[in-house]
Amino acid sequence: MSGTVVFVHAHPDDEALLTGGTIALLAASGRRVVLVTATDGAEGLASEDVASGSTLARIRSEELAEAAASLGVARSVQLGYPDSGLDGDADCSAIDGAEFPFARTPVSEVADRLVAILREERASVVVGYDRNGGYRHPDHLQVHRVTKRAARIAGTPVYLEATLPREPLVWAVSIAYRVRWLVPQLGGLDPEVWRNSFTPRSEITDAVDVRPFVAVKRAALRAHSSQVTADEGLRTIDVLLRLPDFVFARLMGTEWYVRAAQGAPAVGVGGSPLNIDGPS
């Protein structure tokens, strides 16, 4: 299938973590890729030293531009909604014109903006998040609601949900929780959260092999340098970037999607609406 592929993400860095390899693969194959980022990422857990002298939102916007360029994104749109934070109630009163953080903004308002982009780009595929919003971050749940609605209204032929297989994550978190006394930063880990996060493997429809593009994906992650720092706790990107290349490739070399029909003929398990081989 030809045509533009639009990826919708919640915060700067999500595009690299969940879909960076797919974006790079599509761009390298000549497909037009548009990246839509919903929030300013101002609630990201960067250290105070990194954010000093400028706002974190400004820093993360610059990092996003660098990451998007490295992945081959043709157009990057920042919707500019205030980051809701992990609890969904971040204070956005200091932001001009902002009544609510993204997670509490009316779905119809955001969906209308996304519909305009999908129609302008004549998108053949739009990618959002699974119904659990990944790990249930309020902004990720909102991206799911918004993208699903916009895909239906715009009549975009294929709607995909970026996700991860739940079972290996639950296993890894369970192991980490048992040894949390060895790593104080794991003290706040809650296994219960992960038991209802992302998507059961049986429901995943597309597994995209992005191993030829893991170096590009790693470069995109590295661009988000503010998220490698934190005053407390482990940072996901920092951990990933410390991995040896072969471990990184094994861990990050497949990207996962759930495909929902939008009125187009169903694509068989042997193929993918991204024009990439699906799971075998």
What does the pLDDT look like over 127-172, one tens digit per residue? Answer: 999 999 998 999 999 999 999 999 999 999 999 999 999 998 777 7
Q: Is the pLDDT of residue 267 over 60?
A: no
Confidence band, pLDDT 50/70/90 cuts, at residue 278: very low
**Averaged over 178-201, what is the pLDDT?**
68
SS (H, E, C) 83-103: CCCCCCCCCCCCCCCCCCCHH
Confidence band, pLDDT 50/70/90 cuts, at residue 173: low
The answer to whether 160 and 257 have CB atoms below 8 angstroms apart is yes
Which residue is listed with tokens 């639009």?
Answer: 6
CA distances from 192 to 102, 180, 232 (A): 25, 15, 22
What tokens does 264 get? Answer: 């187009």
C-alpha to C-alpha distance for 100 and 128, rounded to whole angstroms? 21
**Averaged over 170-184, what is the pLDDT?**
62
Partners of 165 in beta bridges: 199
The closest alpha carbon to 240, from 255, 254, 250, belongs to 250
**What pLDDT shows up at residue 222?**
96
Contacting residues for 207 by C-beta, under 8 A, at least 6 apart: 254, 255, 256, 257, 278, 279
Partners of 204 in beta bridges: none
Q: What is the pTM of this model?
A: 0.88
**What pLDDT shows up at residue 265?**
37
What does the pLDDT look like over 112-130, one tens digit per residue? Answer: 999 999 999 999 999 999 9
Domains within the chain, CATH numbers bracketed: 4-164+199-261 (3.40.50.10320), 166-197 (no CATH)
What's the mean pLDDT when you consider all of the chain? 85
Beta strands 158-163; 123-129: pairing state: parallel
